[in-house]
């Protein structure tokens, strides 16, 4: 069965361009510092650990223990602290939205049903149709996490356009992961995040400059201009983004409440154990 790892994005054999020496210990420490800042500035009470995995693989993921791993290979594509924050914020967002737990639950349930239906002869393997259903669900998770990450970045004082720049830099090599990947095609995914910023944080739409961001604007600007010139399309856009923003806020409140309850329960359990 496919491992349940929620990744930001994974591309192979692309030329690195970052001028930052991410192999230094100080920059490895920066991963943890940025992660803690995102948690603190967003009043997220949960204990989330941030780690750098020493591998050339271009990846990042959060696991079922709420540990977030940023791979050294991915850091080579990060140009500045804001882009690093975008990577980490996306993974925090997967934790906040409980995507890892939901994916594991669905996979376990699907495998159990298949096992029963085939009298144990399938070995619990997920069917191709089941795989495609999971992929569609995973794409939805990516869109949700990108939007939540934008909120996290803004609240922590980072520029959310760094996420657009970073995603575009990964896709500029001409490769995109689409149908048979847990990640949506890059233009569509990046546009979804950009639209969310346009709607919720219009004051953040200036002040960021990078080659990859300028490259994305060449793609996005005609789309935005056409939408703004059509009252019907604009109204539909605003309605959709309003719904997205409301849902993201509700998810964050729910997660914070659950985390506080868990923290109180852990404290009570530790106190009881100490008395024994």
Give the burial string for 126-163 (b: 16+ CB within 10 Å, else e).
beeebeeebbeebbebbbbbbbbbbbbbbbbebbbbbb
Q: What is the model's pLDDT at position 24? A: 65
Spatial distance between the Cα atoms of 88 and 92, rounded to a whole number of angstroms: 6
Three-state secondary structure string covering 76-101: CCCCCHHHHHHHHHHHHHHHHCCHHH
Mapped onto helix, strand or coil, the DSSP state of residue 68 is strand
CA distances from 151 to 2, 100, 200 (A): 31, 20, 9
Asked whether 52 and 144 are in contact (CB, 8 A), the reply is no
What's the burial of 87, exposed, middle or buried (CB within 10 Å: 0-12/13-18/19+)?
buried
**Edge-to-edge strands, sheet with 60-62:** 6-7, 60-62, 67-71, 49-53
Q: What is the model's pLDDT at position 268? A: 72
Q: What is the model's pLDDT at position 63? A: 81
Q: Which residues contact 72 (CB under 8 A, 6 or more apart)?
A: 22, 23, 52, 53, 54, 55, 56
What's the burial of 266, exposed, middle or buried (CB within 10 Å: 0-12/13-18/19+)?
exposed
Helix axis angle, 161-171 relative to 81-96, nearest 10°?
Answer: 100
Asked whether 65 and 12 are in contact (CB, 8 A), the reply is no
Q: What is the model's pLDDT at position 34? A: 95
pLDDT by 10-residue block (mean), the chain, 276 residues: 35 38 70 94 89 84 84 86 95 84 46 45 49 56 92 97 91 46 67 96 93 94 97 97 95 88 75 64
Q: What is the model's pLDDT at position 139? A: 78
Please report how many Cα atoms fall inside a 13 Å half-sphere around the Cα of residue 165, on the Cβ side.
Answer: 24
């Amino acid at each position: 069965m496919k491992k349940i790892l929620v990744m930001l994005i994974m591309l192979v054999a692309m030329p690195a361009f970052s001028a930052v020496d991410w192999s230094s210990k100080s920059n490895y420490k920066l991963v943890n510092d940025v992660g803690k800042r995102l948690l603190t500035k967003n009043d997220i009470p949960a204990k989330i650990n941030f780690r750098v995995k020493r591998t050339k693989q271009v990846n990042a993921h959060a696991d079922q223990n709420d540990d977030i791993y940023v791979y050294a290979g991915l850091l080579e594509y990060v140009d500045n602290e804001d882009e690093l924050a975008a990577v980490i914020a996306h993974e925090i967002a997967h934790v906040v939205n409980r995507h890892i737990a939901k994916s594991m639950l669905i996979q376990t349930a699907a495998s159990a049903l298949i096992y029963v239906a085939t009298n144990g002869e399938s070995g619990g393997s997920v069917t191709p149709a089941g795989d495609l259903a999971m992929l569609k669900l995973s794409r939805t998770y990516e869109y949700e996490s990108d939007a939540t990450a934008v909120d996290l970045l803004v609240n922590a004082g980072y520029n959310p356009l760094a996420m657009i720049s970073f995603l575009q830099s990964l896709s500029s090599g001409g490769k995109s992961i689409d149908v048979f990947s847990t990640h949506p095609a890059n233009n569509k995914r990046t546009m979804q995040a950009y639209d969310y910023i346009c709607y919720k944080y219009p004051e953040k739409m200036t002040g960021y400059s990078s080659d990859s961001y300028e490259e994305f604007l060449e793609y996005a600007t005609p789309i935005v201009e056409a939408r703004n010139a059509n009252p019907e399309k604009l109204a539909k856009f605003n309605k959709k983004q309003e719904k997205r923003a409301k849902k993201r806020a509700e998810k964050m409140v729910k997660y914070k409440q659950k985390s506080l309850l868990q923290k109180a329960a852990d404290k009570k359990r530790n106190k009881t154990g100490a008395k024994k």
